[in-house]
Structure 1
Amino acid sequence: MSLQSALERLATYRANNTRASQDIFRNGLLALQKSSFKKLGDDGWACLEQLTLASIDVGRLDIADQCLQLIADKFPNSPRVDCLIGIRMEATEPPETALKYYADILEADSANVAIWKRRISVLRRTGKVEKAVNELVQFLDTFYTDVEGWLELADIYASCNQYDHSLQALSHVLLLTPQNPFYVLQAAETAYTSEDFPLAIKMFLTVVDMTDADDSEQLLQESTPLGITVRAWFGVKLCTRRIAQNANLKSLSNTSAPKNLELLDELATERLRVAYSSSGQKGEIAKGRQEVFAWVATPLV
């Protein structure tokens, strides 16, 4: 592989935020051996940082240390270098050592977002979940618009089966990124898991509304559900059944159950049948088609 193609491949991984550590290491090592990163400008240092992280991932700490030295010489006292040193420390040192290192940096600069996130990550990874949550809440009080922080908090709560708290964290995500259907789907599935089925079906239908057809003039019955739209229709179908089976259902969010439940169930059934019948340009007939057809055909109650 040529140096140019290696650099282009590394740039593609950076642009897509892809963590393909083995391939990044191979290409980055080629670039390190065949060129002087100092001559490549900003892209060169970005590649070097990329190679540092990949080297730690694959256990080539000798290469990671070599890269770190080059970066530290070029950017002394850089917050990004401090973060890389911390990640390198996490690979071989006890967690307490890394936590103290991060705490010392935060004491001098409490606005260092990357270091704060690394500290929270170490706390969670070492089982100090309550402390991680406290730190994360404090972090989000300072940096409210950090979507990744809210997603992390939601994930921690979900991992502890505290789905109501997880849903509350996701509500902040939806306020900050209201046009992202993947986050709406995550909130819908969390609401379903917490057994707030009226809220869940409302959010699943929101996902459908956001994703079912790119062409606003295309009629619903003429479109073929794809991707997360199919997942959302499965959610609608599941919710209609759970609501129908619970006559005295109460929603923790005080969301009213839909009145046209049977029509929604029929629509979800039709949409899922269309999704699993598609072929040709949309792909081969979906695997599990007969099983899906049998499932959606069962009565609502």
Structure 2
Amino acid sequence: MVGATEEARLNQLETQVDNGGGEAWEYLCLVRKLKARRSEKVLRHGIFILNSHIARSKLGGEEWTLYEQVAVAAMDCHRNDIANDCIEALSKKFPGSIRVGRLKGMLLEAKGAWPDAEKIYAQLLVDNPLDQIILKRKVAIAKAQGNLAAAVEYLNNYLETFMADHDAWRELAELYISIQMYKQAAFCYEELILSQPTIPLYHLAYADVLYTMGGLENLQAAKKYYASTINLTGGKNTRALYGICLSSVAINQLTKGRNKDEKDSADLQPLAAEALLKDYKERAPEKLALVTAMLRNIKLVS
């Protein structure tokens, strides 16, 4: 994850470079290091360096790294002509390169030439069957074509080998949610929580899935994970506070107040409601009356 200090430095450099000061190359290096998505800025400042013989000559071997960075940014910005020029330059310098081959496939994707891109990736996978980037590009192609079933299949196959790829688990969970396979999505979030138990986003997403699935057991579990999200964020997660309130109401409707197991956590309901009101009072006072009315309607405040 990007640290606050590095993020601040990136923003500072970006402002300086945009206003004609600072080092454009330093900025581009930091964008690459932090894997930040600043495609328009990268394209503008990267082209400036590549078009300047003096600036480009100072890069040495890093010139080719910049060509690659600009190519990807150009595709993001729908400037396929620029991306093509960069890829051609890289092809002349590194004939037969796998990395250049990936870029060629990505450019075909950007043009919507899915079958041609798949052919390139298939050829590259012959010699490198475990190339993670190419395997993920296959997922991207399936998604772009609206074939979510194929995307799910590709990701499941990928995760059989690369089980520690947290981004892939999260992507698979989101795909399952989009096709309403909530049980499978819940399994993905369970894997993420097991491997990274201190990330509140996973607890919150898991709670949302459980709440959507419904049923007393799932709602009780959802309430616990909303509570853990609140704990991990120091009580600052508004969505989790809402989750506590709504899951509590749903549980009460199912049990009609007769479930003894709920008595131990009944204090969470007024505490969550109180925290919500305090949050809106400080952050968005103009919405306080609306939130208060909503909580009264579901009988969580008097």
Q: TM-score, normalised by structure 2?
A: 0.82
CA distance in 1, matches of 2:66, 2:263: 56
CA distance in 1, matches of 2:245, 2:211: 12
- Evaluate the alpha carbon distance shift between residue 287 and residue 70 of structure 1 in structure 2; reply closer, same or farther with a 3 A threshold: farther
Matches within 5 A, 1:196-275: 196-212=218-234, 225-226=235-236, 229-247=237-255, 258-275=262-279
Deviation at 1:259, TM superposition (A): 3.0
Deviations 1:184-242 (A, max 9, x none): 21111121122221111111111111111xxxxxxxxxxxx43xx22211111111111
- Whether the 8 Å CA contact 2:245–2:300 is kept in 1: the answer is no
Match of 1:113 among 119, 124, 132: 132
CA distance in 2, matches of 1:137, 1:151: 12
Deviation at 1:106, TM superposition (A): 1.4
CA distance in 2, matches of 1:285, 1:108: 57
Deviations 1:16-41 (A, max 9, x none): 43323222221221122124546325
Give the equivalent residue in structure 1 for 2:105. Answer: 86
Identity %: 30
Pairwise CA RMSD of aligned residues? 2.5
CA distance in 2, matches of 1:142, 1:238: 39
Q: TM-score, normalised by structure 1?
A: 0.82
CA distance in 2, matches of 1:42, 1:155: 39
The one-letter code sitting in structure 1 at the alignment partner of 2:221 is L
2:23 aligns to what SS in structure 1?
Answer: helix
2:170 aligns to what SS in structure 1?
Answer: helix
Give the equivalent residue in structure 2 for 1:161. Answer: 180
- Evaluate the alpha carbon distance shift between residue 131 and residue 285 of structure 1 in structure 2; reply closer, same or farther with a 3 A threshold: closer
5+ long unaligned stretches in structure 2:
1-18
Matches within 5 A, 1:284-295: 285-295=284-294
Deviation at 1:7, TM superposition (A): 2.4
Deviation at 1:141, TM superposition (A): 0.4
Name the structure, 1 or 2, with higher relative contact order (CA <8 Å, separation 6+).
1
- Whether the 8 Å CA contact 1:240–1:261 is kept in 2: the answer is no
Aligned length: 276
- Evaluate the alpha carbon distance shift between residue 13 and residue 297 of structure 1 in structure 2; reply closer, same or farther with a 3 A threshold: farther
Deviation at 1:160, TM superposition (A): 0.3
5+ long unaligned stretches in structure 1:
213-224, 250-255, 279-283
